[in-house]
Amino acid sequence: MTKVTLTVNGRAVSGDCDDRTLLVHFIREKLGLTGTHVGCDTTQCGACVVHLDGKSVKSCSILAVQAAGSSVTTIEGLAPQGQLHPVQAAFNEHHGLQCGFCTPGMVMTAVDLIGRSGGDLDEDKVRHGLEGNICRCTGYHNIVKAVLSANEQMHGEVRQAAE
């Protein structure tokens, strides 16, 4: 057993685990943060996406020990005060989900994508940016709408402020 210490959603946490323990299992089972899902378990579906030091990663394909000393943000960390993050609100408004299983990974991916884009997103770029996330319900259409809407809201405000 190895003691793994890292920062999750701004809080320092630690737990004992085998070196072979995947980050997603550490998050779900040691920390009880079950918003991060395991879908395919083969790096395909993106239900397990979290941010590792500010970058989206698939937590089913990273060992917890690899993340030691790093800062992790999970879906639970997006709305610490209970008020929805703009991306979550956009998924709600545009009905960007049906069963909801892929949604935590979709939202974490969208937050990363919008953050990196500097506001320069269109439908093609959003669909390309969501390639690592699979949804079996929606056909993606409303997810793309939600991401574009959130992007407009988050970067539109910045643009208005700059003007």
Compute CA distances 76 → 27, 40, 62, 139, 158, whole Å.
11, 21, 19, 25, 25
Task: Find the shortest distance in angstroms from Cβ 128 to other proteins.
Answer: 9
Task: Find the shortest distance in angstroms from Cβ 92 to other proteins.
Answer: 23
Task: Find the shortest distance in angstroms from Cβ 30 to other proteins.
Answer: 16
Which letter, b or e, does each residue of 35-51 get, where b requires 16 or more Cβ atoms within 10 Å of its Cβ? bbbebeeeeebbbbbbb
Q: Which stretch binds other proteins (CB under 8 A): 19-27, 92-100, 140-148, 149-157?
A: 19-27
Angle formed at CA 128 by CA 123 and CA 130, multiple of 5 degrees = 95
Q: What is the DSSP letter of 137?
A: S
Interface residues for other proteins in 73-132 (CB under 8 A)?
A: 109, 112-113, 129, 131-132
Site string for other proteins, 39-68 (x = CB under 8 A): --xxxx-x--x--x--xxxx--xxx-xx-x
Does the footprint of other proteins cover residue 7 (CB under 8 A)?
Answer: no
